[in-house]
Amino acid sequence: MFTTAMPESIDSVSFDMEKIYLGGKEHHIRTGCGSVSVIVYGDPDKPALITYPDLALNYMSCFQGLFFCPEAASLLLHNFCIYHISPPGHELGAAAICCEDYVPSAEDLADQIIEILNYFRLGAVMCMGVTAGAYILTLFAIKYRERVLGLILVSPLCKAPSWTEWFYNKVMSNLLYFYGMCGLLKEFLLQRYFSKEVRGNAAVAESEIVQACRKLLDERKRTNVLRFLEAINQRPDISDGLKRLKCRTLIFVGDSSPFHSEALYMTSKLDRRYSALVEVQACGSMVTEEQPHAMLIPMEYFFMGYGLYRPTNFSDSPRSPLSPSCISAELLSPESMGLKLKPIKTRVSLKV
């Protein structure tokens, strides 16, 4: 059981980009496997959308780009109250978790979500996760199908780690244990998140989003990241459970993501009547930060199947590289806008 104060009332939604990340309320919820931080934005009377970030990240470093994209923010905040869940010890300003505390498994982290939903008295929710976070939310959806409306997964995982990934994660574990968040470990993580186009090289400086992520990684405590890494590196294969999912699933993956083949494999295992795949050119794993505009139109049509729309008084941004002609006709079909989504392979052009 968990004990904490009941949540306070939440201010009404605003589309002022600066207020989005300053007006949220943080709740520390005690669960069966430790305390977890949840940041809430928006009107609690609206349907809930929960997010879960990738390894060593939190909502600021994993979803800020998406929510700072005005069109995406208007779509999401117009229709949902957002609940940003941080993995234990990954929230801003988190202290190091005691080494003697129980280390939760991936399944424990999925079960933790049901405690969070019950705390906020939420029913079925929309879920959005990135890589490790996408795995946790998928596992949650398999275990608690009646509590999930839909899945938006970015560079997701569903298989147990390959030998290559397992070894790579072990190297990161050793670096964390002996050296903490050192420069080499940050390079490994940035390669996990971003494409080489934004990471830069000797001739080209790394982009601002990579620089910002690098600074935010400095705040992570080694023991906290190590615990999440161990859970993900020991994750079970959940491929067999994917066919049992009845909620719609929208998958995004960058074609430069190290988990690109994982996303394609996962798509092949999902029920084709309820799933769609969007591939983004010249993009790494974290589409939410590197190319958030690429998510806008697919999400719009995905949400149309639920009767959810972007505010009509919010005009398209001239900065957006997307137009309906950039999206596969299959995604725009009546079938895809209704009860079923077709499996697609969509490439989003970077050219305006």
What are 257-289's pLDDT values in tens digits? 999 999 999 999 999 889 999 999 999 999 999
Q: Which residues pair with 41 in a beta bridge?
A: 82
Contact 181, 218 (CB under 8 A): yes
pTM, entire model:
0.85
Contact 216, 59 (CB under 8 A): no
Q: In what order do the strands lie in the sheet with 125-130?
A: 25-31, 34-41, 81-85, 48-52, 125-130, 148-154, 248-254, 275-280, 346-348
Residue 204 confidence (pLDDT): 84
Backbone φ and ψ of 48, nearest 5°: -95, 140
Which of 31, 93, 28 is closest to 58 using CA atoms? 93
Number of H helices, E strands in the chain: 16, 9
β-pair type (25-31, 34-41): antiparallel
Instruction: Locate 228 and state its tokens.
Output: 């999440």
State pLDDT tens for residues 119-156. Answer: 999 999 999 999 999 999 999 999 999 999 999 999 99
Give 225's contacts (C-beta < 8 A, 6+ positions apart).
55, 56, 89, 90, 176, 181
Backbone φ and ψ of 28, nearest 5°: -105, 115
Could you say which DSSP state residue 207 is in?
Answer: P
Give the domains, in start order, of the chain with CATH numbers: 25-305 (3.40.50.1820)
Residue 201 confidence (pLDDT): 83
Contact 221, 227 (CB under 8 A): no
Per-residue pLDDT of the chain (352 residues; tens, 9 = 90+): 333 333 333 333 334 444 444 568 999 999 998 999 999 999 999 999 999 999 999 999 999 999 999 999 999 999 999 999 999 999 999 999 998 899 999 999 999 999 999 999 999 999 999 999 999 999 999 999 999 999 999 999 999 999 999 999 999 999 999 999 999 999 999 999 999 999 988 788 899 999 999 999 999 999 999 999 999 999 999 999 999 898 999 999 999 999 999 999 999 999 988 999 999 999 999 999 999 999 999 999 999 999 998 876 544 443 333 333 334 444 444 344 333 333 444 444 334 3
Residue 246 confidence (pLDDT): 84
Instruction: Locate 146 and state its tokens.
Output: 């009646």
Give 18's contacts (C-beta < 8 A, 6+ positions apart).
none
CA distance 286 to 254: 8
Backbone φ and ψ of 101, nearest 5°: -70, 155
